[in-house]
Amino acid sequence: MERVIERQNNISFVKSTAAAWALASLLLFLAHILGGPLFSIPAAVGGLLAYHLTPRISPAVVLRFYRGVPVTEFQMPGLHRLVKDLATDARLTNAPEIWILPSARSIAFVTGDRQSSAIALSRGILDALTRDELAGVVAHELSHVAHNDSRIMWFSEITVKMVNVLSIIGQLMVLINLPAIFAGEREVSLLLLAVVVTAPVAALLLQLHLLRTREFAADTGSAKLLGSPRPLIQALRKLEGGRSPLLMRWVAGRREQRGHTLLRTHPPVRERICRLKRLESDPRWQRTYTPVTEQELVEMLLPGHGAKVVVLRDREP
């Protein structure tokens, strides 16, 4: 399975890099044809700042906005142990904080970066999933943190907005010069007009492709952390079968979109499951469970405890 994971990681890296470069190139090209160095230099500086100066908003501020409640290790020791172990395996600087959302929907997302992050789980997803299914979802979300996907998402969002602004400027330039164009005093470049009109749509499609690629990478990361793709496969099937929102992440959750694949932030569930199934071909990878402690056993017997999680490990033959 390691070879398949490595190959999929390489493919995701190449696709993500290509999409990011294409997005940045589109921004610079649009800026250049509109204003030459006067526009292209600020656009390049803005793109670099968008990538390197990701705003560090406290996860607590974000999650309180969604009425989240932090839970301590004493309240949910099993969940804390799972997150800490997976964070260690993912080589995160600090284990993410755990917040519970008072929602009946199936919601799971992360916010923050490798230094400071938090994972939010709704009551709905705790009740809907079994222990190992929830482990697959948690591993998926922690993979987003390990891959610094928040920085990539922020870069793509800012770049798309800059492209939209430049497109509006270009359209205004055409409208202002419209009388002179009709009078034959000025000529309008068909290339300029085509780029100005299509650039926002192209930028959005590139952004969505980049987000879908990062989802595939997080799926692979989940399988690698747990030693098996089976927990996430089962979770995806259950959430899709119940028509629940899927793996909501970053700052705000998004519903699984219907319609053409190009217009989705998440890949189709069937495609995600098919890719995960390819990782099951190696029989040497099997799941084992971390023993449940006496404290966790007492916690599981308490009413309204919600679903609890376990750590999944790979075992050598």
DSSP codes of every residue in 152-212: HHHHHHHHHHHHHHHHHHHHHHHHHTHHHHHTTSS---HHHHHHHHHHHHHHHHHHHHHHH
98: phi then psi, degrees, rounded to nearest 5:
-115, 125
What's the length of the chain? Answer: 317
Q: What is the pLDDT of residue 163?
A: 93
Q: What is the pLDDT of residue 1?
A: 59
d(CA 245, CA 242): 9
* Spatial CA neighbour of 154 closest among 53, 28, 19, 58: 53
- Quote the tokens at residue 256: 């699984």
**pLDDT band, very low/low/confident/very high, at 53 (cuts 50, 70, 90):** low
Report helix, strand or coil for 107: coil
For residue 57, pLDDT beyond 80? no
Q: What angle do CA 127, 131, 135 make, to 5 degrees?
A: 110
Q: Identity (one letter) of the amino acid at 275?
A: R
Residue 110 · residue 120 · CB < 8 Å:
yes
Question: Domain limits at 7?
Answer: 2-314
Express each pLDDT in 224-237 by its tens digit. 898 889 999 999 99
For residue 71, pLDDT beyond 80? yes
- Give the helix ranges, DSSP H, for 36-110: 37-52, 59-65, 77-89
Q: What is the pLDDT of residue 245?
A: 40
Range ranked top by mean pLDDT from 113-117, 124-128, 263-267, 278-282 = 124-128
* Spatial CA neighbour of 285 closest among 224, 219, 207: 224
**pLDDT band, very low/low/confident/very high, at 249 (cuts 50, 70, 90):** very low
For residue 200, pLDDT beyond 70? yes
User: Strands 312-314 and 287-289, how do they pair?
Assistant: antiparallel
* Spatial CA neighbour of 212 closest among 79, 34, 15: 15
Question: By 3-state DSSP, what share of the chain in percent is helix, strand and coil, each rounded to 5?
Answer: 60, 10, 30
Report helix, strand or coil for 305: coil
Catalytic residues: 141
Cα dihedral across residues 238, 241, 243, 249: positive or negative: positive
Kind and range of the H or E element at 99?
A: strand 97-101
Q: What percent of the chain has pLDDT over 90?
A: 26
Q: What is the pLDDT of residue 135?
A: 92
User: Strands 117-122 and 97-101, how do they pair?
Assistant: parallel
Q: What is the pLDDT of residue 84?
A: 92
Residue position matching structure tokens 């916010």: 111
Q: Identity (one letter) of the amino acid at 251?
A: V
Express each pLDDT in 23-51 by its tens digit. 989 999 999 888 888 888 888 888 787 77
Distance of CA 278 to the CA centre of its chain: 22
For residue 246, pLDDT beyond 60? no
For residue 59, pLDDT beyond 90? no
Least confident of 66-80, 157-171, 279-293: 279-293
Cβ neighbors of 29 (< 8 A, separation 6 or more) are 195
| CA distance to 10, 15, 150, 210, 316, per residue, from 18 (Å) | 12, 5, 18, 9, 36
Q: What is the pLDDT of residue 144?
A: 92
